[in-house]
């Protein structure tokens, strides 16, 4: 049983979103599930062109990394939970995350293949109130449209998921409240995934 963390930042190891997602995945692993990080930046693909080819089969007409590498990776039956993580860009998800979410439409069109997965979301903004919750809603809408069950960060923080602030004067590592929401999110996704699929 695996929980897949999906990072929508264009940055590599220095990504603050990756930092938050790693906290969430570590907390999930501590509950007793396997975890895997998927960094969208490691794959070359663009958005969906609505050609309709995926209505017929779980296949995409665009010949790129999404078709060749991500379709098989995301089809892994061992994935029972997913955590979507994005930086806040103009109050919403990054272009990379949006392209990723749109390209996942073949999974919906071929029998709602994500439907039984448990999901949660995490966002990072440079401003304390820069649109983290709005960005979370972009990610939550995606999960709901796939039919997934979305869970919040676990009590006592329990709101919309992991919400972090990269503008902390001493760095995101000092955003203790934000890190707490990330860890509580990972815990909750793992706990519910185990309850449903364990």
Ligand X SMILES: Cc1cc2nc3c(=O)[nH]c(=O)nc-3n(C[C@H](O)[C@H](O)[C@H](O)COP(=O)(O)O)c2cc1C
Task: Confirm or reject binding of residue 178 to ligand X (CB under 6 A).
Answer: no
Q: Binder to ligand X among 108, 131, 158, 197 (CB under 6 A)?
A: 131
Q: Binder to ligand X among 124, 139, 148, 194 (CB under 6 A)?
A: 124
DSSP 61-116: SS-SHIIIIIHHHHT-TTEEEEEEEEE-BTTB--HHHHHHHHHTHHHHHTT-TTTT
Task: State the minimum distance, in angstroms, from the CB of residue 52 to ligand X.
Answer: 32
Task: State the minimum distance, in angstroms, from the CB of residue 165 to ligand X.
Answer: 8
Q: Binder to ligand X among 87, 162, 178, 186 (CB under 6 A)?
A: 87
Interface positions, 152-171, toward ligand X (CB under 6 A): 166
Q: Binder to ligand X among 6, 9, 22, 80 (CB under 6 A)?
A: 9
Task: Confirm or reject binding of residue 88 to ligand X (CB under 6 A).
Answer: yes
Can you tell me which residue has the tokens 């972090």?
164
Interface positions, 38-67, toward ligand X (CB under 6 A): none
- Residue 74: burial class (beta carbons within 10 Å; 0-12, 13-18, 19+): buried
> What DSSP designation does 28 have?
H
By Cβ distance, which residue is nearest to ligand X? 130
Task: State the minimum distance, in angstroms, from the CB of residue 142 to ligand X.
Answer: 18
Q: Are 138 and 157 in contact (CB under 8 A)?
A: no
- DSSP element (H, E) containing 51: none
User: What does the alpha-carbon distance between residue 71 and residue 75 come to, in Å, rounded to a whole number?
Assistant: 6
**Contacting residues toward ligand X, per CB under 6 A:** 9, 11, 15-17, 87-91, 124-127, 130-131, 166
């Amino acid at each position: 049983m695996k929980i897949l963390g999906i990072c929508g930042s264009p940055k590599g190891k220095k990504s603050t979103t990756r930092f938050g997602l790693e906290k969430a995945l570590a907390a999930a692993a501590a509950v007793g599930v396997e975890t895997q990080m998927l960094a969208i930046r490691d794959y070359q693909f663009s958005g969906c062109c609505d050609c309709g080819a995926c209505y017929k089969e779980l296949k995409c007409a665009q010949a790129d990394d999404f078709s060749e590498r991500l379709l098989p990776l995301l089809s892994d039956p061992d994935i029972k939970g997913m955590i979507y993580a994005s930086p806040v860009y103009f109050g919403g998800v990054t272009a990379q995350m949006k392209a990723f979410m749109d390209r996942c439409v073949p999974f919906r069109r071929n029998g709602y293949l994500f439907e039984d997965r448990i999901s949660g979301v995490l966002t990072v903004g440079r401003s304390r109130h820069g649109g983290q919750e709005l960005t979370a809603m972009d990610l939550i809408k995606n999960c709901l449209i796939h039919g997934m069950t979305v869970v919040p960060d676990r009590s006592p923080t329990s709101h919309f998921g992991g919400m972090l602030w990269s503008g902390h004067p001493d760095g995101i590592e000092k955003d203790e409240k934000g890190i707490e929401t990330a860890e509580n999110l990972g815990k909750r996704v793992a706990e519910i995934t185990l309850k449903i699929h364990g």
